[in-house]
Amino acid sequence: MNKDLVVSILSFVSAVVSAFVGAGNIAIAICFLLFAVLFGLGYLHKLSKPAVDLKDHPFWGRMNYYIKQKLPYVSIQDPLRKKLFIVTMTTKFEIAVEQMRQFIELDGFDSCKAKDLVINMVQLYETKWRTENIPEIFVEQFHRYNKPKIQSLIEYVEFICVSRFYDSDTDKKVAILDGMLHVFQWTIIDLERSDAAINGNLTRELRNLWSAGKF
């Protein structure tokens, strides 16, 4: 890809995002930007020709870092909010890892299962959050902030499923792992935004649950 083409593409993406933001469509702007980034990751993957062994993908090391090093030592003073952060994020990341492990072990590349993977993953961690007595106000707020990223990921996976851009099923799986890794880097940001948006109400919910011995 030559320099002029790169500049043209970046200018186009910038113009579209600016237009959406100017019109007040922030969620659509984020969705478009994420899709552009994910497509760029796919292109870079094709150029770099990474190792075929999917178990060596950076996704696993990064997720392991989040679960074992980042989440347990997050600097949140309020003990109930800290517990909320650790429980919700650990649950989400562990479910994502398990779902992706099952996915890469599938023979070939099943486009239906690839798309369902993302949808089922969200349903699984939200359901488990509720069984762990995570306040509904938090689950709904996080879903609202995180939805544009998940939608971008679904569209990206759908693109990979029908694209002839990739040389093999393994290349498609690597591209999906790239997308998952990028989207999950937004997860902690969305949690912090959710926490701030429902600050007082969340504190009351957590204290009530704690007093009742449910959290």
Tens of pLDDT along the chain (215 residues) come to 444 434 344 444 454 445 444 555 565 555 555 555 555 555 555 555 545 578 888 999 999 999 999 888 887 788 888 898 899 999 999 999 999 998 888 776 665 677 788 889 999 999 999 999 999 988 988 888 888 888 888 888 888 877 777 778 888 888 888 888 888 878 888 887 887 777 778 888 889 888 888 88
Query: What count of Cα atoms within 13 Å lies in the side-chain half-sphere of residue 181?
Result: 17
Distances (CA, A) of 212 to 49, 187, 205: 54, 29, 11
Query: How much is the pLDDT for 187?
Result: 83
Q: Structure pTM? A: 0.72
Instruction: Please return the burial class of 70, using the count of CB atoms within 10 Å of its CB with bins 0-12, 13-18 and 19+.
Output: middle
The span from the CA of 126 to the CA of 119, in Å, is 11
CB 57 within 8 A of CB 72: no
Q: Phi/psi at 214 (nearest 5 deg)?
A: -105, 0
